[in-house]
Chain A
Amino acid sequence: MTSEFLGLDPKTVLLMGPLLAGTLCLLVPRISALVGLLGTITSVGGAVGLLAAVANDGPITTQLAGWTPPLGIALYADGLSVFMIAMTALIGAAVGLFSVGAWGMFATANDTATRLSGRTYFWPLWMMLLAGLNALYLTTDIFNLFVTLEIIGLTAVALTALAGSRTSLHAALRYLIMGLVGSLLILLGVDYLYSAFGRVDMSGLHVGEAPVPATIALLIVLAGLAIKAAVFPLHFWMPDAHSSATAPASAILSALVVKAALYMAMRLWLILAPDTQALPVLFGMMGAGAILFGSFQAFRTRRLKMLVAYSTVAQVGLITLVFATTGTIDAETAWRGAVYLMLAHAIAKAAMFLAAGRLIDELGHDRIAGLRRLPNSAKPAAFAFGIAAVSLIGLPPSAGFVGKWLLLEGMITGQIWVLVAVVMLSTVLSTAYMMRVVGRFLRREATPTDQSDASGYWRLGDGVAIGLALGALFLGLGSAQPLALIEIGMPMPAAALTETAVPELTDGADS
């Protein structure tokens, strides 16, 4: 297979496709759903093309306009970027289908205002967001990183506000403000890095050459990224935003937008390899805090989508724990596990938000206590929710299980027992809050069930949610290829770092 897709470079397709489609959506709103869906599908094609190219030839660098870094700007795709791009395309396609199911493809006679506004505004925003995400994964330049994060952040805020309710507008405003704070921090950090290294391309930020300000700069950038990735305790804007948005928007925000910031934090961390022991400990504590706090809130809340959103806080915390393995013997395995957990969480959480959206549609409310009397039309969504929960808890054979296995393996070999305990605890806690919902699905109805045929009630959205959930469940058995992919050119924890131990954490077993 060539790296060309219909004679086009896949990177161009990934960047220009959504941009063009998004513009067309704005210009001709009547066909925005069709154009948006085509843009999404094009992006899948681009992702497949790039994936094949990178799998065959290794990392690919493209100089734009013939200028080489540090002067010019380069696009760079290695296994990890393609992994993220493919994940984005896959989930984007699923959410796109769901949106068509929810808001329709074209105007119909019985169009409601919700369907109309969903169709008109969701697609251009999603296209711009997709362009931003693809650009972020292809960038190798920290200034572009800032720009792409801005695009992602602003479109994400608009997607939150799309629901149009007071809560969602309020949440979007908070999201906007926190996003701006994050962006400012990132900009400040990027400036610092520029002054330390004299260049903005990541290939120039060499491990080991980092002068002291670079570590401070990294810390500032990481703080900004932590806000955008909703890492505890900087997550507070997120549950409201994710739970009040429309179902497709919630799915995109939690599955993709949060991951973009997390990905960047990982990449910068691995490239700059901070030569300090305080940062890993700090991240370990933030991760553990996220798991405890997020799970506690998920256990307490009365709202279904709030529970799903707080579960994201906890799950992001689980992934964040990997930063704390820096410097231990088998950190590499733990990193692979964390990357895989990102994928597992993205698919399962998208499935869960879509399923929650369908449940709310059918029930007309989102109170957890009211989940016991499910009409037949809500049962497929309940099934999807249950399967997604299995992967989020991390039970076999799901992708979440494989990710957790690798994370644990790295931590056990590195003898970081505190972290091992935290990971185990996270499984217990996530089971506890997920069972609040799943247990209710099985409760006997006060009125006898109508024994009629449930198959007549299936909606496109149910199929999408079930498909994603089953995908997350069985992806665990097909982990070999995706994991081989992220090895290609992956900036693994540098060998130099493995010599510096992390005493604070390794001593945990004795204390």
Chain B
Amino acid sequence: MTEQLVPLAILFTSLAIAPFILMLPERAVGLRTGINLTAAVVKLALVVWLTYGVINGQTFAAQLTVLPGLDFILRIDALSVLFLALSALLWLLTTIYAIGYLEAGQHRSRFFGFFSLCVAATVGIAMSGNLFTFLIFFEVLTLATYPLVVHRGTADALRAGRIYLAYTLGGGIALTLGVVWLHTLTGAFVFTPQGVLGVLPETHAATLKVIFALLIAGVGVKAALVPFHTWLPVSMVAPAPVSALLHAVAVVKAGAFGIMRIVYDVYGVEATQSLNLALPLAAAAAATILYGSFRALTQDDLKSRLAFSTVSQVSYIALGVALISPVAATGGLVHLIHQGIMKITLFLCAGNFAEGYGIKKISQMNGLGKLMPVSMAFFTIAALGMIGVPPLAGFVSKWYLGAGALDAGQPWVILILLGSSALNAAYFLPILYRAWFLPVSDQTADPVRPIGWMLLAPPAATAMLVICAGIFANAPFSPLSWTHFIVSLEYQ
């Protein structure tokens, strides 16, 4: 019984409260905050419980037949847990942050309602047991995020929203076509380590290649693979907690997670390789890594620079998956978590800079380390992690990716990684230099508002995680150890 109830409970802790919050009057601050935080804590507790269950070999699944031969399935496997843990933890932190951030904002009920819906869709994606269910939550995620992106309601925000929808719904259409097409070939299936295609690669090679392209293009839009990335930098007009969520947990991660599912649990490592699909995917990821880093260099707007950095960093995940090697896979998968905790720290701190001193541009950041030492310290930790400085989280990812590239016999990838790390340093270090070593410029000296604990505790927690995930990488429950466990299932 609990086997069925736990996945449903995890979904409903955020799904069921969404309509309720949407209908709350604006002034019911206490009630709204209470519901939000309770749900987030309960969800996190459920995910912890479930993780223990999965370790002890319990299987969690719930299903509903939608059409004959087409089931709505929630099923937990090791890969689900990876993504679930990330979303449940970061949801709690982002919720705390958002409550503090939007203290006097408009439409807070609408915001938190769709925020919950967004997380419901994300955990739904994590728990989807087949492509059909995945597709449902993937599209719900698009719809739930749209009101968050346009939350400010300005002309810019609406324009960003239109671009966001055009890209993601376009991706959704490609994904739908791919999923239906694959369904006509394979019939119903659940995600299975090492794939579900059977003998199809021999009989339908050409069709499978087209379907793979459709599926990857579909999820690739959300993962911001070049050339489908344009929406991501544009969407940074959204409020800081939304950007954090978009970049670290919900949208781009859903795309990256989709790539994992398609390669590992639909096509399987073997078929991906035998159909010659791995190298093009790796090339696309490598191109995205370099392109994103180059574009980040020239952005003066802090959130834009972070956005292009996301474009680049998320493709590390795709790269790890595409380099058919267990070691590289470890690096890619663990980066799902590592990039999440690092990027959320950066965005939350960027939000604090904007709230505290109205600073949105890098050229205004001179001496910010003296004005906001705490936020700037967290920012620094995460930025160093992104560059890959040992012993922080980013270093672990890059180490495994590099070793994996050699393992896979693709030494060119080392050059990509080195180039990208150099570029990471080139766009992060000047920020740190300005903030810590240059004097405060006259215009920025007036604080806009004090930064309360609700805006400081979440980045503090994630910055701690950035350090711990690196130092304690080999501890039993670290992201890395869990990733080893997943990889051992995919490469048997």
Tell me the A residues contacting B by CB distance below 8 Å: 330, 383, 390, 395-397, 401-402, 405-406, 408-409, 412-413, 420, 424, 427-428, 431, 435, 439, 442-445, 448-449, 451-455, 476-480, 483-484
From known contacts A412-B180, A452-B25, infer whether A480 and B68 are also in contact, taking CB-CB under 8 Å.
yes
Chain A residue at smallest Cβ distance from B180: A408
A-B contact pairs, 20 of them (CB 8 A): A395-B142, A395-B172, A397-B72, A397-B140, A401-B136, A402-B66, A405-B67, A409-B183, A409-B184, A424-B176, A427-B169, A427-B173, A439-B150, A442-B161, A444-B106, A449-B106, A449-B107, A455-B25, A478-B66, A483-B67
Chain A residue at smallest Cβ distance from B151: A442
Chain A residues lying within 8 Å of B68, measured Cβ to Cβ, are 480, 483-484
From known contacts A431-B165, A442-B147, infer whether A412 and B140 are also in contact, taking CB-CB under 8 Å.
no
Neighbour of A443 across the interface among B66, B72, B153, B173, CB < 8 A: B153
* Complex Cα–Cα for A428 and B176 (A): 13
* Complex Cα–Cα for A401 and B106 (A): 33
Distance in Å from the Cβ of B147 to the closest Cβ of chain A? 6
* Complex Cα–Cα for A408 and B183 (A): 11
A442 touches B25 (CB 8 A): no
* Complex Cα–Cα for A206 and B222 (A): 53
Q: In the complex, which residues 177-195 of chain B have their Cβ closer than 8 Å to any Cβ of chain A?
A: 177, 180-181, 183-184
Distance in Å from the Cβ of A407 to the closest Cβ of chain B? 9
Knowing that A439-B161, A442-B150 touch, tell me 17 more A-B residue pairs with CB under 8 angstroms: A383-B22, A402-B67, A405-B180, A408-B177, A409-B183, A424-B177, A427-B176, A431-B169, A439-B158, A442-B151, A442-B158, A443-B158, A444-B106, A444-B154, A451-B26, A477-B66, A479-B67
Chain A residues lying within 8 Å of B64, measured Cβ to Cβ, are 477
From known contacts A439-B158, A443-B153, A444-B154, infer whether A476 and B66 are also in contact, taking CB-CB under 8 Å.
yes
Chain A residues lying within 8 Å of B66, measured Cβ to Cβ, are 402, 476-480
Distance in Å from the Cβ of B18 to the closest Cβ of chain A? 12
Chain A residues lying within 8 Å of B140, measured Cβ to Cβ, are 395-397
Closest 8 CB pairs of A and B: A444-B153, A396-B136, A453-B25, A451-B26, A408-B180, A413-B184, A396-B139, A397-B136
B306 contacts partner chain A, Cβ-Cβ < 8 Å: no
Chain A residue at smallest Cβ distance from B142: A395
Chain B residues lying within 8 Å of A397, measured Cβ to Cβ, are 72, 136, 140
B27 touches A451 (CB 8 A): yes
B67 touches A442 (CB 8 A): no
Chain B residues lying within 8 Å of A476, measured Cβ to Cβ, are 66
Chain A residues lying within 8 Å of B27, measured Cβ to Cβ, are 451, 453
B107 touches A412 (CB 8 A): no
A420 touches B172 (CB 8 A): no
Question: Dominant SS at the A interface?
Answer: helix
Q: In the complex, which residues 56-72 of chain B have their Cβ closer than 8 Å to any Cβ of chain A?
A: 64-68, 70, 72
* Complex Cα–Cα for A454 and B177 (A): 41
Question: Dominant SS at the B interface?
Answer: helix
Chain A residues lying within 8 Å of B151, measured Cβ to Cβ, are 442
Chain B residues lying within 8 Å of A453, measured Cβ to Cβ, are 25, 27
Chain B residues lying within 8 Å of A420, measured Cβ to Cβ, are 177
Q: In the complex, which residues 29-68 of chain B have their Cβ closer than 8 Å to any Cβ of chain A?
A: 64-68
* Complex Cα–Cα for A405 and B173 (A): 11
Chain A residues lying within 8 Å of B150, measured Cβ to Cβ, are 439, 442
Distance in Å from the Cβ of B476 to the closest Cβ of chain A? 38
Neighbour of A480 across the interface among B67, B143, B154, CB < 8 A: B67
Chain A residues lying within 8 Å of B72, measured Cβ to Cβ, are 397, 477
* Complex Cα–Cα for A484 and B165 (A): 35
Chain A residues lying within 8 Å of B153, measured Cβ to Cβ, are 442-445
A396 touches B135 (CB 8 A): yes
Chain B residue at smallest Cβ distance from A336: B67
B154 touches A435 (CB 8 A): no
Chain B residues lying within 8 Å of A444, measured Cβ to Cβ, are 106, 152-154
B162 contacts partner chain A, Cβ-Cβ < 8 Å: yes
B170 contacts partner chain A, Cβ-Cβ < 8 Å: yes
Distance in Å from the Cβ of B8 to the closest Cβ of chain A? 13
Chain B residues lying within 8 Å of A396, measured Cβ to Cβ, are 135-136, 139-140
* Complex Cα–Cα for A454 and B26 (A): 9
Chain B residues lying within 8 Å of A427, measured Cβ to Cβ, are 169, 173, 176
* Complex Cα–Cα for A402 and B181 (A): 14
B23 contacts partner chain A, Cβ-Cβ < 8 Å: yes
Chain B residues lying within 8 Å of A439, measured Cβ to Cβ, are 150, 158, 161-162
* Complex Cα–Cα for A397 and B154 (A): 30
* Complex Cα–Cα for A480 and B70 (A): 9
From known contacts A442-B150, A455-B23, infer whether A406 and B106 are also in contact, taking CB-CB under 8 Å.
no
* Complex Cα–Cα for A48 and B169 (A): 38
B139 touches A406 (CB 8 A): no
* Complex Cα–Cα for A479 and B68 (A): 9
* Complex Cα–Cα for A507 and B143 (A): 36
B107 touches A454 (CB 8 A): no
B139 touches A448 (CB 8 A): no
* Complex Cα–Cα for A444 and B26 (A): 16
Chain A residue at smallest Cβ distance from B135: A396
Chain A residues lying within 8 Å of B25, measured Cβ to Cβ, are 451-455
Chain B residue at smallest Cβ distance from A452: B25
Chain A residue at smallest Cβ distance from B183: A409
From known contacts A397-B136, A454-B25, infer whether A448 and B106 are also in contact, taking CB-CB under 8 Å.
yes
* Complex Cα–Cα for A439 and B27 (A): 25
Chain B residues lying within 8 Å of A413, measured Cβ to Cβ, are 184
Distance in Å from the Cβ of A79 to the closest Cβ of chain B? 14
* Complex Cα–Cα for A448 and B184 (A): 52
B173 touches A428 (CB 8 A): yes
Neighbour of B165 across the interface among A383, A435, A449, A480, CB < 8 A: A435
Q: In the complex, which residues 65-113 of chain B have their Cβ closer than 8 Å to any Cβ of chain A?
A: 65-68, 70, 72, 106-107
Distance in Å from the Cβ of B165 to the closest Cβ of chain A? 7
Q: In the complex, which residues 195-235 of chain B have their Cβ closer than 8 Å to any Cβ of chain A?
A: none
Chain B residues lying within 8 Å of A435, measured Cβ to Cβ, are 162, 165
Distance in Å from the Cβ of B62 to the closest Cβ of chain A? 12
Chain A residue at smallest Cβ distance from B110: A442
Chain B residues lying within 8 Å of A405, measured Cβ to Cβ, are 67, 70, 176, 180
Chain A residues lying within 8 Å of B172, measured Cβ to Cβ, are 395
Chain A residues lying within 8 Å of B154, measured Cβ to Cβ, are 444
Q: In the complex, which residues 119-172 of chain B have their Cβ closer than 8 Å to any Cβ of chain A?
A: 135-136, 139-140, 142-143, 147, 150-154, 158, 161-162, 165, 169-170, 172
Chain A residues lying within 8 Å of B161, measured Cβ to Cβ, are 439, 442
Distance in Å from the Cβ of A297 to the closest Cβ of chain B? 21
Q: CB-defined interface of B286-327 with A at 8 Å, one 1/0 digit per residue?
A: 000000000000000000000000000000000000000000
Chain B residue at smallest Cβ distance from A487: B68
* Complex Cα–Cα for A485 and B35 (A): 41
Chain B residue at smallest Cβ distance from A395: B139
B170 touches A428 (CB 8 A): yes
A480 touches B65 (CB 8 A): yes
Chain B residue at smallest Cβ distance from A411: B180
A412 touches B181 (CB 8 A): yes
Chain A residues lying within 8 Å of B136, measured Cβ to Cβ, are 396-397, 401
* Complex Cα–Cα for A406 and B25 (A): 41
Chain A residue at smallest Cβ distance from B107: A449
* Complex Cα–Cα for A443 and B154 (A): 7
* Complex Cα–Cα for A444 and B157 (A): 10
Neighbour of B67 across the interface among A406, A428, A451, CB < 8 A: A406
* Complex Cα–Cα for A427 and B140 (A): 15
Distance in Å from the Cβ of A423 to the closest Cβ of chain B? 9
Distance in Å from the Cβ of A126 to the closest Cβ of chain B? 31
Chain A residue at smallest Cβ distance from B177: A424
Chain B residue at smallest Cβ distance from A394: B176
* Complex Cα–Cα for A26 and B151 (A): 51
Chain A residue at smallest Cβ distance from B64: A477
Chain A residues lying within 8 Å of B147, measured Cβ to Cβ, are 442
Chain B residue at smallest Cβ distance from A470: B19
Distance in Å from the Cβ of B17 to the closest Cβ of chain A? 16
Distance in Å from the Cβ of B69 to the closest Cβ of chain A? 10
Chain B residue at smallest Cβ distance from A337: B67
Distance in Å from the Cβ of B198 to the closest Cβ of chain A? 18
Chain B residue at smallest Cβ distance from A431: B169
